[in-house]
Structure 1
């Protein structure tokens, strides 16, 4: 573990597969009367990295008394892994379990009170991981990707066909040992991408600006082969197997992870709670929607995890 340039957090690495994931560790001010704090394990969405506004959420959780372990998936951000920006569902799910193992090993936190927090594609991973790990005490799935087919239907038939061609070309390149054929994650009209709804470009640019990043600095392209995985990926089906309290934060105007699919799966979670927001997929990272959502999430944590009293 090393010191970070940002006050109040530290950098660390943890192993996942043959590589290492990079993470930020946020710790609240120590309080001898309460003992080690619960820890929230956090990761981003489709092709995204922790520098895209995850610090804003982690800082609020820390100020409310929760430790946070915020990590980049392998192949992304500051984590290791080649080729860069490889979007592998299987590897990302393994990264979540590795991050939980890391969190439970940290002496500064209460390893028996691990919370999962995932947004967008990471929200789907959080659901699946909570279903697989009975030791998780609470989960927050923010505008979660729950149904690949429902999300794929947001693309036009022409866009779907072009994306399929790119995926075939990428698979051939992989078999021949060539560089990946890449597609945009957030695509402008006319570009080949995983998301191309009308509000995607403006939402992505707003998220970049709020994170202090430019479009040139963003790695907004991934190997196209993931296009074969996404339509059949349905993590929402695991919601009925999540035994801990789970909060679904649903954006009613979500053009990436449709609200109808999320609400349908959330209804099957035994201890599920739902909060709805009159917002689009990218709106909840800034402004009033962010303020309302993070306040609801802290209230959920205080009700079910408690930053002040160990279970």
Structure 2
């Protein structure tokens, strides 16, 4: 096990800056590195630091960042989810890690979870210098909701998205909706136990805010990063939560079947179960082993 240090780091993306934590292991020679980011509306302090510490202790440098418009990163308006902007943030973060002293630019991996797991597939499909990818409980493409959604709630969500899009076009402040909640909540993403699940990974002083600009809804139908998995040349590790009520395990398996060099690790839990014990240590161990296998100097 390696000791490591964590420092604050900022990098530019578009017209704004992203806030990041940089974990540097105390190792000799150029170290491999991993870029990490969270999923839908979430921020880095929601258990991603625990994964970063596990990877850094194994000798892997980590750049863990918040997307623009979220957490400690810049960007106005707040809580604006833009797939285009977030993919730009990933590209900027990868470029930043490659430029850090003591980092091997040819041994850079990606780690993304949930909606971040979508982005790592899209980035790796076009950046063939990426050496390894972990896509944890990743969004691959939209499909029929796994739980029945009342028509009134669906129409309400579409109305909110339309209203927010119009406000954005007029240069007005966003129309926000609750981001995550239980089925009875008027939230963008709902499932039984979701409120307790998000609470289980959110520290009291977290920068997370449970709201999002409603216009994001119109991006989901056309964003299908799992369909690009066939263009991912490097090894990719898919982490699946078999009882995930947000993301269908079937879509993840279909994406993995497209990737030329994919492996799957399956866990008997819901969407938030991979972040906390009793499964977190096992998940982190398996993902660390995968990254070490494919980011070693011999492999590179």
TM-score calculated relative to the size of structure 1? 0.91
Contact 2:43–2:208 (Cα < 8 Å) also in 1: no
* 1:260 corresponds to 2:250: yes
Counting matched residue pairs gives 296
**Equivalent in the alignment of 1:52:** 46
Q: Given the superposition, is the C-alpha separation of residues 310 and 147 from structure 1 closer, same or farther in structure 2, using an over 3 Å criterion? A: closer
Give yes or no for contact 1:140–1:247 (8 Å, CA) kept in 2.
yes
Correspondence 1:271 to 2:261: yes
Question: Among residues 19, 24, 38, which one is paired with 1:22 in the alignment?
Answer: 19
Question: Residue 149 of structure 1 contacts residue 232 of structure 1 at CA under 8 Å; is this kept in 2?
Answer: no
The question of 1:288 aligning with 2:271 is answered no
Matching residue within 221, 229, 241 for 1:251: 241
Q: In 1, distance between residues paired with 2:23 and 2:93?
A: 14
For 1:30 and 1:68, the matched residues in 2 are separated by: 13
TM-score (norm 2): 0.94
Q: Within 1, Cα distance between the matches of 2:98 and 2:17?
A: 17
Q: Which SS does the other structure have where 1:27 is aligned? A: strand
Distance 1:137 1:107 in 2: 19
Q: 2:133 aligns with which of 105, 130, 139?
A: 139
1:99 to 86, 93, 100: 93
Q: Deviations over 1:267-306 (max 9, x none)?
A: 1110000011101001111102111111111111122112
Aligned pair 1:10/2:7, yes or no?
Answer: yes
Which aligned pairs between 1:201-280 and structure 2 lie closer than 5 A? 201-208=195-202, 211-213=203-205, 218-280=208-270
How far apart are 1:148 and its partner, in Å? 1.8
Q: CA RMSD in A?
A: 1.6
C-alpha displacement of 1:173:
1.6
Determine the C-alpha separation between the residues in 1 that align with 2:222 and 2:142: 6
Deviations 1:228-258, CA, capped at 9 Å, x for gaps: 1113321110111100000000110111111
Gaps of at least 5 residues in structure 1 are 1-6
Structure-to-structure mapping, 1:43-192, within 5 angstroms: 43-150=37-144, 152=145, 154=147, 156=149, 157-192=151-186
The secondary structure found in structure 1 opposite 2:36 is: strand
The runs of 5 or more residues in structure 2 that have no matched partner are none
Aligned partners of 2:16, 2:153: CA distance in 1, in Å? 34
Q: Return the alpha-carbon distance in structure 1 between the equivalents of residues 163 and 9 of structure 2.
A: 37
Give the number of the structure whose residues are more often strand, by fraction. Answer: 2
